[in-house]
Amino acid sequence: MSENKSHLVSREWILEEFCAWRRFFLAKRAYALYNKNMEITEKQKEILRFIETFHSKEGGPPSLREICRGLGLASSGSLLKPLRALEAKGYLVRNPGKNRRWQLANRQSYAAVPLVGEIAAGFPILAQQNVEEYLPVDPSLFGTHEVFALRVRGDSMKDECIRDGDLAILKPQEDAESGEIVAVLVQGVESEATLKTLRRKNGDIELHPANPSYQVLRFSGPERAQVKILGKLVGIIRRPGA
């Protein structure tokens, strides 16, 4: 009997192995982009975010004067060093002799995904008030639809291979099917979204964790109006080193 028991594999071990392989195939390319983004300075991030936003709105790169104006700088002198650093790291390419010389490198290879932090009441989920920063993510991983990111806090979804510090990639939508993993905001209670499995039973809304240490949240009658669905989970990017 003891010999047979030695060959048994624990449920926890199977779950960990499944999580490891699932994450490896889903996010291998995204890890490199995420790590690369972390290596640039805050000033460089600010400049890169402005150029990306300008390009998305105007259909082309900004001039040095427009970058200065957008960042509240008096002159372009302080821009040259961080712009050249971004060029050296492969984020920008320079077209000498052109007014709008600083362009995004390999623009089609990544998309700027907004990372949402605390959510201001009365504003849409992707309003500038809610966005902490923009992350470069390979769009082929999560489709062509608009997405946003939330940083996972805590271990309430660990049995779905979603861990503390991971980035949850979500498609913005205000409704979802029962059984789907969604980001929700419990209005009047929290200013940060929580990730849970949505279930509907007898007209009630239930938010299920994927960890037996946490309780199911139930909302009945008028309480259902407190639950605001922000988006449906379409992918996960594991935090570096996890």
pLDDT tens-digit map of 51-108? 888 877 777 788 888 898 888 888 778 888 888 888 877 788 776 656 667 777 764 5
Mean pLDDT over 237-242 rounds to 64
C-alpha to C-alpha distance for 116 and 42, rounded to whole angstroms: 17
pLDDT number for residue 11: 65
Q: What is the CATH number of domain 42-109?
A: 1.10.10.10
Question: Does residue 232 sit in helix, strand or coil?
Answer: strand
Top-confidence residue, 93 or 217: 217
pTM assigned to the model: 0.55
Residue 138 token pair = 């390979």
- Place 198 in a pLDDT band, splitting at 50, 70 and 90: very high
The mean pLDDT value of the chain amounts to 76
Catalytic option among 158, 171, 196, 232: 196
Nearest C-alpha neighbor of 223 from the set 180, 178, 186, 192? 186
Top-confidence residue, 203 or 142: 203
Q: Which residue is it, tokens 């999560």? A: 142
pLDDT number for residue 206: 94
Please state, in angstroms and as integers, the Cα–Cα distance from residue 19 to each residue in 83, 107, 132, 233, following that order: 39, 31, 28, 16
3-state helix, strand and coil shares in percent for the chain, rounded to the nearest 5: 35, 25, 40
pLDDT number for residue 200: 94
DSSP 77: G
143 phi/psi in degrees, rounded to 5: 85, 180
Is residue 43 among the annotated active site residues? no
Burial class (CB in 10 A: 0-12, 13-18, 19+), 175: exposed
User: Which tens digits make up the pLDDT trace of 147-187?
Assistant: 888 888 889 999 998 888 888 889 999 999 999 999 998 88
Mean pLDDT over 223-239 rounds to 88
pLDDT number for residue 22: 53
Is residue 98 among the annotated active site residues? no
pLDDT number for residue 89: 75
Mean pLDDT over 204-214 rounds to 93
202 has a pLDDT exceeding 60: yes
119 has a pLDDT exceeding 90: no
pLDDT number for residue 103: 78
C-alpha to C-alpha distance for 62 and 54, rounded to whole angstroms: 7
Catalytic option among 45, 156, 158, 171: 156
Q: What is the CATH number of domain 111-237?
A: 2.10.109.10
* In the chain, where the domains are located: 42-109, 111-237
